[in-house]
Amino acid sequence: MPRLLLFALAAVAGALSVFAFAPWRMFWLMPLLLAALAELAERRPASAFGTGYAWGLAAYTTNFYWIYISLHHVAGLPSVFAAPLTLLLPAYLALYPGLAVWLSCRMAGRAWLRWLVAFPAAFTLGEWLRGWMLTGFPWGTAGYSQITESPLSGLAPVGGIYLVTWAVALSAGVIVVFARVRPRNRVVLLALMALVWGGGYHLRHRSWTQPVGEPVSVALAQGNVPQSLKWDPQAAQGTLALYYRQVATTRTELMILPETALPLFLEDLPSGYLTMLKGAAERNGTALAVGVPRRGSSENSYYNAVVALTQPGTPAYAKNHLVPFGEFVPLPELTGWLYQYMNMPLSGFSRGGAFQPPIEMAGQKIAFNVCYEDSFGEELIAPAREATLLANVSNLAWFGESAASSQHLQLSQARALETGRYMVRATNTGMTAIVRPDGEVEMVAAPDTRQVLVGTVQGRTGLTPYMIHGDTPILAAMGLLLLIAAVAGWRQRSQSPAYRIY
């Protein structure tokens, strides 16, 4: 097969991966598309890296097209800069599937060893690496495509999203190898798939945590403030009035406002506003947490924070895992000049600290996380162990009416599954939602509407296997599988240099 045709077909397969994730959620598509990648690489192993790179470049471009909306339509960056910068992230991320396919073909000689042992391990490690390198960007990890419609989602509480990713890649390998093995060995492959998918289905119906305390009524505010007005000084008074009305007219035990709902530093809010807001909540018997930027103790330090206004001492959580280019400027000497073209205030936040204890509110111990912090499963384990409830506050108005908010909801569903706890989400424009401990969405507010979502949650206690062990076991297992593939491949090559498929 000509190389250009090979790359084109790989790009088509990668581009279709967007439909495997929310809002389309065609979970069955991801194993097929990874199988297409493996099959194309099998046709021409010498071009394995290029095949994997073409697949990844198309996949991540179609999945993260909303970066252009953020840079151009919202931040105002001219297209001549926004378009190449939009492609920059996919161009980097595509290195990982490219290297995974190249390594699989390099290490193993026989098809079954490549695609049943080496490829699932290499691809999973690549997904983990891109979620860690350069502060990490795990959004779009293959395992998320299985949350929560697929039986494989039952593996998340056991080994996290990377165990689910490995199961997807293994399924793809089985598809590729099935026609290449002897008929009697196909029974083994079918049994393997029955074990993986059937095991996931069985685990999907197991509860790993237990209820604690009484159910709590919760209200999640969705202000739907356009990003173009959010930081406009002339619109600030209207935004403050909006959230005061939502708080004053809501009667629940707990209420949470979105990320940076109050568009001024906590210390710069109009005199008496916090007193009014707190008083309205207390009159309604509501424990109130609000997203608001606040200044730090040192000069030029400020935080993206969630403040519990009604609690003694006003405890707060400050975002720790910041968004590169959005909340901090990496290599400012090289990239700082771009900000003169963009309307992007508060792009120099400080980190809040690696471990911040849950905040006690309304009889719950709440582990807060801000925006895409819920992309990092292992980072949420420590606070979740001490918490009875998880809460995410976000502002995705940066991405317009794109798939970003639906994709983000899928991340929260994975975190609820991994920790066996409710996850409540208060967002500016969507998806404001209540997610059950089994990862299912119990309630969701219509996106791009102004409303308060009201429901009931139940605190949970106990630990899932993933909360006990984290990512370490699955990463160690992937390393062991690669070692086995390398040793077996070396022995095959030393015994017979001829390439064999069986």
Catalytic position from the list 39, 42, 253, 259: 259
Q: Is the distance from CB of 330 to CB of 136 less than 8 angstroms?
A: no
Q: Which residues contact 168 (CB under 8 A, 6 or more apart)?
A: 30, 31, 34, 142, 143, 145, 146, 152
Q: pLDDT digit string (tens) for 387-400? A: 999 999 999 998 98
User: Is 418 a residue of the active site?
Assistant: no
Catalytic position from the list 39, 105, 253, 319: 319
Catalytic position from the list 253, 365, 371, 418: 371
Asked whether the predicted pLDDT for residue 473 surpasses 70, the reply is yes
User: Is 333 a residue of the active site?
Assistant: no
Secondary structure class of 222 (helix, strand, coil): strand
The pTM assigned to this predicted structure is 0.94
Nearest to 120, CA basis, from 44, 175, 158: 175
Nearest to 247, CA basis, from 226, 274, 215: 274
Spatial distance between the Cα atoms of 111 and 109, rounded to a whole number of angstroms: 7
pLDDT at 259 (0 to 100): 96
pLDDT at 82 (0 to 100): 87
Spatial distance between the Cα atoms of 53 and 172, rounded to a whole number of angstroms: 17
Q: Is the distance from CB of 461 to CB of 209 less than 8 angstroms?
A: yes
More confident residue, 334 or 244: 244
User: Is 105 a residue of the active site?
Assistant: no
Q: pLDDT digit string (tens) for 97-152? A: 999 999 999 986 788 999 999 999 999 999 999 999 988 999 999 999 999 999 99
Q: pLDDT digit string (tens) for 34-51? A: 999 999 999 999 999 999
Determine how many CB atoms are found less than 10 A away from the CB of residue 496.
9
Q: What does the DSSP 8-state code read for residue 322?
A: P
Q: Residue 75, CB half-sphere, CA atoms under 13 Å: how many?
A: 28
